[in-house]
């Protein structure tokens, strides 16, 4: 315990140091750091390149390599931004508090999409589930949502996630989220389902990243034309109780500006076919995420083995088997183009 506390203290001191660094200079350093990380994480870089080639066959090798390097640079930038959420959620001078997304109250973050529906949900006392993904600085979405006056007076905001593999990171992440008004339900918590149900019954908001497969119940929907696994436990509960759903994704437009794209996800609450509703929800979610990834390919984690679990073989492939699977799939695609 003593050793843990010592490590945690040093980690907090290091974070304080990182927060003190000028943003533009740190981002310039991240651009230099990307190619270095790519070389150090050679297997992850290989997965990223193969997946990018599969999805963007029109791109040349030098373009693919540039995206992979920029991808690792983005990871460093997003980490730095996650440490500076208080600054990024700064309100414009004319606002004392955030009450409406339509007013665009934030200095560095703007909202696009169906903002009217988003405001309607903000001003109601109903629960809501926000579906997001690992694009842009996704921690910033929750930080902005927690900043709205309604979230402080009428409801709480919870994020569902997987515990980091390192105890120090676990403790730091809890502190960071708590400081900007978000509580976390960890998926591997034995009481996770109970906490989740209680959260919704109390009419709180839940935010969850679903663009990676999990060891929970999964549902397969095409992602860039290839079946991908999505966790559906929360979706089944939302559909059963007709809880409103929103997709919300964030992208970095420049080193100092971000855009949150908000879209309500409609589903037929009268339908008796639950799987059909879930398929429709995930298809709408996936289509929106795909569109943003095509525009900002460097801001989504291509090193994640997104398709390593398939319908016909629901076990996750090892990295070696997955690389071989991607290579074979690329070869088949090339042959189809030739003939």
The CA-atom distances, in angstroms, between 176 and each of 44, 123, 166 are 27, 26, 15
For the ranges 21-30, 103-112, 199-208, the maximum mean pLDDT occurs at 103-112
Residue 118 is predicted with a pLDDT of 84
**Residue ranges of E strands in the chain:** 109-113, 128-132, 157-161, 182-186, 205-209, 218-223, 226-231, 245-254, 257-264
What was the pLDDT predicted at 246? Answer: 92
pLDDT score, position 209: 92
Q: How far apart are CA 149 and CA 77, in angstroms?
A: 28
What's the pLDDT score for residue 310? 85
Return d(Cα 312, Cα 306) in angstroms, integer. 15
How does pLDDT run across 261-288, given as a tens digit for each residue?
999 998 876 667 889 999 999 999 999 9
Largest CA distance in the chain: 66
Whether the pLDDT of residue 152 is over 70: the answer is: no
H or E segment at 176?
helix 167-179
Higher confidence at residue 20 or residue 234?
234
Mean pLDDT of the chain: 86
pLDDT given at position 1: 67
Digit-coded pLDDT (tens) for 173-209:
777 777 778 888 887 778 888 888 888 888 888 889 9
Using CA atoms, how far apart are residues 181 and 338, in angstroms rounded to an integer? 55
At residue 301, the pLDDT reads 94
State the pLDDT confidence band at 8, using cuts at 50, 70 and 90: low
pLDDT digits (tens, 9 = 90+) for 72-85: 999 989 988 888 88
Residue range 11-34: average pLDDT?
79
Q: pTM of the entire structure?
A: 0.90
For residues 80 and 255, the answer to whether their CB atoms sit within 8 Å is: no
Rounded CA gap, 74 and 253, in Å?
Answer: 12
pLDDT tens digits for range 292-319? 999 999 999 999 999 998 887 778 888 9
Closest among 282, 165, 284 to 229, alpha carbons compared = 282
Helices (H), 180-296: 192-201, 233-240, 274-295
How far is the CA of 28 from the CAs of 25, 136, 255, 263, in angstroms? 5, 17, 10, 33
User: Which pLDDT belongs to residue 82?
Assistant: 87
At 336, the pLDDT band (50, 70, 90 cuts) reads low
DSSP state of 162: P
Of 275, 301, 152, 146, nearest to 218 by C-alpha is 275
pLDDT over threshold 80, residue 99? yes
**What pLDDT, in 10s, does the model give residues 43-58?**
999 999 999 999 999 9
137 has pLDDT over 90: yes
Whole-number percent of the chain with pLDDT over 70:
90
Per-residue pLDDT at 262: 94
Q: What is the pLDDT of residues 223-267, one digit of tens each?
A: 999 999 999 888 998 898 889 999 999 999 988 899 999 999 988
pLDDT of residue 11: 67
Q: What is the pLDDT of residue 203?
A: 84
Residue 235 and residue 278 in contact, taking contact as beta carbons nearer than 8 Å: yes
- Residue 5, pLDDT score: 67
**Which tokens sit at 97?**
């508090």
């Amino acid at each position: 315990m003593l050793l843990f506390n010592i490590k945690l203290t040093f980690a907090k001191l290091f974070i304080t140091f990182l927060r003190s660094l000028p943003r533009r200079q740190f981002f310039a350093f991240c651009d230099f750091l990307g190619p270095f990380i790519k070389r150090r994480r050679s297997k992850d870089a290989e997965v990223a390149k193969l997946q990018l080639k599969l999805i963007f066959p029109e791109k040349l090798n030098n373009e693919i390599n540039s995206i992979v390097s920029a991808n690792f640079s983005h990871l460093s930038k997003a980490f730095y931004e996650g440490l500076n959420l208080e600054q990024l959620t700064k309100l414009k001078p004319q606002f004392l508090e955030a009450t409406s997304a339509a007013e665009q109250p934030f200095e560095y973050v703007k909202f696009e999409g169906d903002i009217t529906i988003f405001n309607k949900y903000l001003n109601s006392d109903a629960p809501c589930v926000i579906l997001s993904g690992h694009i842009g600085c996704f921690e910033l979405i929750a930080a902005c949502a927690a900043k709205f006056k309604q979230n402080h007076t009428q409801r709480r905001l919870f994020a569902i996630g997987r515990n980091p593999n390192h105890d120090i990171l676990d403790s730091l992440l809890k502190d960071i989220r708590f400081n900007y008004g978000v509580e976390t339900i960890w998926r591997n918590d034995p009481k996770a389902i109970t906490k989740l149900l209680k959260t919704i019954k109390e009419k709180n908001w839940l935010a969850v990243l679903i663009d990676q497969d999990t060891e929970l119940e999964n549902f397969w929907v095409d992602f860039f034309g290839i079946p991908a696994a999505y966790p559906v436990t929360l979706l089944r509960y939302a559909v059963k109780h007709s809880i409103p759903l929103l997709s919300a994704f964030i992208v970095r437009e420049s080193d100092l500006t971000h855009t949150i794209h908000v879209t309500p996800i409609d589903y037929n609450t009268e339908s008796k076919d639950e799987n059909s509703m879930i398929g429709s929800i995930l298809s709408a979610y996936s289509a929106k995420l795909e569109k943003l990834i095509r525009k900002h390919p460097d801001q989504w984690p291509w090193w994640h083995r997104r398709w390593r679990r398939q319908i016909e073989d629901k076990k996750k492939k090892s990295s070696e088997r997955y690389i071989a699977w991607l290579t074979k799939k690329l070869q088949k695609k090339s042959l189809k183009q030739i003939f």
